[in-house]
C-alpha cells in the first residue's frame, strides 16, 4: 500500500517535499507525488468563492479508483462542504481518498506574518488526520491525538502531533 500525494493548484514545492519527508518518517509505505489532471474550476462556487471538496474527491476517485493505496489531494485553494464555512480537509471514512487545503494553515492568513515551520507542523497534523479517517478512525476526544476535530486554527495548534494509543492501532504502516 502506497500513499499518493497529488498537488492540485498547490504552490509550495518546499512544503510538498517536506510533507513527503515527514510522512516517509512516519509510515512504512512509499510516499509518492503524482500528477492528476483535475480542473478545479469545475468545483468552484461563485456564491462562496470556495471549492466544493466532496466533488473534487469524487473526481479524484474517477481518476485513481484502481490505485493500491491512499490518495491525498493537496491544494492551496479554500475548500468547503455545504454545512460548514470552510474545512481544512475532507476524507472518505474507511476509504482511499482525501483532500487537504493549506489555505487556512498559513499563518499569514491570520496574522499577516508567515511562519514556515508552523505551516509544516499544521500540514502534517492535518495530513495525518485525513489519513486517519481513511483508516476508519473517527474524531477522537483526546486533545493529544491528531484525530481530535479542528474547526479552527487554534484547535489545530492545540492538539497533539500524532495519534493516541487507541487510534494508532488502526493506522496501517504507522511507525512512530
Catalytic residue positions? 130
Stretch that binds Zn ion, among 47-55, 94-102, 113-121, 159-167 (CB under 5 A): 159-167
Residue 128 lies near Zn ion (rule: CB under 5 A): no
Number of residues that bind Zn ion (CB under 5 A): 6
Provide the Cα torsion 135, 141, 142, 148; round to 10°: 60
Stretch that binds Zn ion, among 60-68, 72-80, 120-128, 162-170 (CB under 5 A): 162-170
Interatomic CA distance for residues 113 and 6, integer angstroms: 27
Residue 131 lies near Zn ion (rule: CB under 5 A): no
Shortest distance in whole angstroms from residue 163 CB to Zn ion: 6
Q: Are 52 and 84 in contact (CB under 8 A)?
A: no
Residue 147 lies near Zn ion (rule: CB under 5 A): yes
Cell of 157: 495548534
Nearest to 77 by CA among 46, 131, 40, 118: 40
Amino acid at each position: 500500500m502506497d500513499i499518493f500525494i497529488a498537488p492540485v493548484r498547490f504552490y509550495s514545492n518546499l512544503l510538498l517535499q517536506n510533507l513527503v519527508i515527514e510522512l516517509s518518517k512516519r509510515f512504512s509505505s512509499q510516499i509518492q507525488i503524482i500528477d492528476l489532471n483535475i480542473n478545479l474550476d469545475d468545483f468552484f462556487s461563485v456564491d462562496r468563492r470556495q471549492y466544493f471538496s466532496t466533488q473534487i474527491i469524487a473526481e479524484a476517485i474517477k481518476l485513481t479508483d484502481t490505485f493500491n493505496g491512499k490518495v491525498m489531494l493537496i491544494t492551496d485553494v479554500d475548500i468547503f462542504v455545504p454545512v460548514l464555512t470552510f474545512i481544512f480537509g475532507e476524507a472518505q471514512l474507511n476509504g482511499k481518498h482525501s483532500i487537504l487545503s493549506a489555505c487556512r494553515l498559513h499563518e499569514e492568513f491570520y496574522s499577516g506574518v508567515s511562519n514556515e515551520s508552523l505551516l509544516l507542523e499544521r500540514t502534517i497534523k492535518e495530513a495525518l488526520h485525513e489519513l486517519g479517517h481513511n483508516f476508519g478512525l473517527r474524531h477522537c476526544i483526546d486533545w493529544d491525538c491528531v484525530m481530535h476535530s479542528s474547526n479552527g486554527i487554534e484547535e489545530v495548534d492545540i492538539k497533539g502531533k500524532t495519534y493516541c494509543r487507541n487510534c494508532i492501532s488502526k493506522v496501517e504502516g504507522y511507525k512512530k
